[in-house]
Chain A
Amino acid sequence: MSLKIAIVGCGKIADAHVEEIRKIPSVQLAAVCDLDPIMAEQLASRLAVPRWYSDAGKMLDAEKPDVLHITTPPQSHLALTRQAVAAGCHVYLEKPVAPRHCDAEAIIAAAVASGRKLAVNYWPNFDAPAIELRRLLDTGVLGRPVHLESFLGYDLAGEYGTALKRDPQHWVHRLPGKLFQNVLDHVLNKIVPYLDEDKLLIQAMAYRGDAAGPDTNPDRLLNELRVMVRGSHTSAYATFSSHARPVGHSLRVYGTKNTAHVDFNARTVVLERKQTFPSALGRLFPPFLTAKDYLRQGLTNVNSFSHSRFHYFDGMRRLLNEFYLSIERDSPPPIAYSEILRVSAMMETIFQQVYPEVLV
């Protein structure tokens, strides 16, 4: 069975969707759509997509895709999801899911009610380091997670940051959580699976880093965020920083047996092991064991590179593959809806604390 795919929203992330869809041989990308016709036209002409539209309804009627990728700003996600599932499409949604948690709930409810499947682009969780971390947890190498530290860096002078800073009307500025809301999924979705309580103690603080420099935004664009989360057995820190260098993307899991450090940029998973040798010997060996881990990871990465499996969005390809397979086999989608909603609920709690005047 070959799934027919369409994309709505032809901004910068749509390029990545086109490229990753095309790496999956069992599906075909039929069309793209954007409210602005020349944005749809440019994506179709640049990346040789067969057809383009400026009206999502017309595209759904004409193309009858099996899956709709929604890569528009989150303010439109609920309406487009409803439109897509009503047309019989499964939905692959770009993060953030929606501006408000109630919208995220409505999105999931729409998918469930229609019997269509939905996934959110939590691609780093399907990248090789995340898979290796899951293996370490599943095989008991780490023991029970006691504490997690999720870190995401951001370069405000980079491609995405510049676009934000120079356009006061950018849709990110209209999100309740502003800059944080566009990136926090990738920080929180790594810790949520290990914090399974409904009631979590969440304490967030945010501020504007000094080095941010002037920008033309009328609102106060906070760019440093620290979040402390406490469940009954596990706690977590979530950090978002626009100033720390290098621009990192990592997760540290402190287990009852060992600790793992996952670097999503360097694609390494390194264990910090319990000392087994006595006294000074116990302090002598760890650097060599860590070096061995890095060497092993480096060689694994070379192997991945040589097999052309070292793309930046390799996790997205893997997630898409699992999502499409879940549609073909009518099995559960790769990300539990409860997890998506808990990330969304946690984000709303954080934004209520750091932007109280926006979210009450």
Chain B
Amino acid sequence: MKILVTGAGGFLGVHVVERLLAHGYTDIRCLLRDPEKAVRLTKLSESYPEAELEFCYGNLRSKADCARAMTDVSLVFHLAAGLKGSAAEMFADSAVASRNLLETLETREASVVCQTRFVLVSSFGVYGVAALRRGARVDEQTPLETHPELRDIYSHSKLRQEQLFWEHQQKDGFELVVLRPGVIYGPGGGAFSGRVGLQVGPLFFHLGGSNLLPLSFVVNCAEAIVFAGTHSDSAGQAYNVHDDELMTASRYLREYKRRVQPVRSVRLPYFVTKMLARSLETYHHRSQGQLPAIITRYKAASIWGGNRFDNSKLRALGWRQLVSTPDAMAANFAYLRQKERPQ
């Protein structure tokens, strides 16, 4: 069985390839935009002598590249997504890229399509949580976002991406497994999720307070993707992905300050954040967008509204956290410390 991993050179992609190898899958095609990303994967595969990593260079915005990448593939781990750039760029890298990938199925026999499985790495950002009460639990039954345009560009593009997959799954009949990770963290990643707060100039505005963070250590997340993605009972299902032991935003920030470096931070209670959001929105409208509304009431409710999270469906499938939260945090902060204060 040939496996395709899109975004294989990315922060999460490398770990997904590693977990696939660890689970005994050997015939893996890694789709990369940047040939330099192959170096780390090649080094990784040296620990698995039986592995046959194939590097396919291309861009999913190109239908020809998609067709080339999908040749002879029966299992696809689709991780590639737009993470930065303009709204149109991000949308193209997530939704257009996914549509192009899905349209390659049109050239396949129906019987082959039915035996093709897509594992889509979606996001917590697709849930419509703005209207949920404080403390509400977000599980797979939580409705999807109905106003992505009010949220943020990333959520907007990820939601459309996931919708495209479900639409095509209904039409074409392939197997689909959707993983919705929370905040993926670990060596190679960033220091702070927006759920903790926002850096504005020299000050860090700590907006997350005592909210729980849906943290997913990158290795645990990759394991969840591979485990659920290859499980016989997971077809047609969506799974939340986060670690079992979650910490609050304030504890994460405190630990960062203690173990990485000092941060000049100001903590804003949620009601102050909402008032600030209202002011920024009002100014944004009155000034016709002279300053961006970096915080709106809708965004504030979606990100800092204080939800709880549920990974019981993934656990019921049999997934177990590979790296404990204390060990994961230690690795994360050691990496960040090295990055911020190299010896």
Contacts and interface: CB of A to CB of B under 8 A. Distances in A.
Given A46-B149, A216-B35, A308-B288, A12 B88 contact: yes
Nearest to A22: B288
A12 B87 contact: yes
Interface string B41-61: 000000000000000010101
B89 A163 contact: yes
A38 B160 CA distance: 9
B119 interface: no
B61 A167 contact: yes
A39 B91 contact: yes
B288 A12 contact: no
A171 to B, nearest CB: 11
B88 A169 contact: no
B315 interface: no
B105 interface: no
Contacts of A214: 36
Contacts of A132: none
Nearest to B59: A167
A166 B62 contact: no
A339 interface: no
Contacts of B255: none
A311 B59 contact: no
A45 interface: yes
Contacts of B290: 305, 308, 310-311
Most interface-central of B33, B160, B290 (chain A CB within 10 A): B290
Contacts of A47: 149
Contact of A36 (B96, B149, B287): B96
A46 B85 contact: no
Contacts of A163: 85-86, 89
A270 interface: no
A127 to B, nearest CB: 14
A39 B92 contact: yes
Contacts of B61: 167, 169
B225 interface: no
A23 B290 CA distance: 11
A169 B62 contact: yes
Interface string A30-60: 0000001011001101111000000000000
A230 to B, nearest CB: 39
Interface string B75-97: 00000000011111101100110
Query: In the complex, which range does the number of interface residues on chain B fall in?
Result: 20 to 34
A14 B153 CA distance: 15
B156 A38 contact: no
B99 interface: yes
A334 interface: no
Contacts of B160: 38, 42
Contact of B149 (A48, A159, A168, A216): A48
Contact of A39 (B33, B59, B96, B149): B96
B286 interface: yes
A234 to B, nearest CB: 37
Given A169-B62, A310-B290, A15 B88 contact: yes
A36 B85 CA distance: 19
A159 B290 CA distance: 20
Interface residues of A, number: 30
Interface in A168-225: 168-169, 214, 216
A63 interface: no
A15 B87 contact: yes
A23 B87 CA distance: 20
B296 to A, nearest CB: 14
B16 to A, nearest CB: 20
Interface string B247-282: 000000000000000000000000000000000000
B62 A311 contact: no
Contact of A169 (B59, B85, B86, B157): B59
B289 interface: yes
Interface in B99-117: 99
Contacts of A169: 59, 61-62
B95 A15 contact: no
B34 interface: yes
A11 interface: yes
B85 A42 contact: no
B117 to A, nearest CB: 23
Given A166-B34, A216-B57, A39 B88 contact: yes
A342 B148 CA distance: 45
Contacts of A48: 149
B96 to A, nearest CB: 6
Contacts of B287: 308
A122 B157 CA distance: 31
Contact of B89 (A159, A305, A308, A311): A159
Interface in B264-322: 286-290
A19 interface: yes
Interface of A: 10-12, 14-15, 19, 22-23, 36, 38-39, 42-43, 45-48, 159, 162-163, 166-169, 214, 216, 305, 308, 310-311
6 contacts: A38-B96, A39-B96, A159-B84, A166-B33, A167-B61, A168-B59
Given A15-B86, A45-B156, A168-B59, 8 more contacts: A12-B87, A12-B89, A19-B289, A38-B96, A38-B99, A48-B149, A159-B85, A308-B287
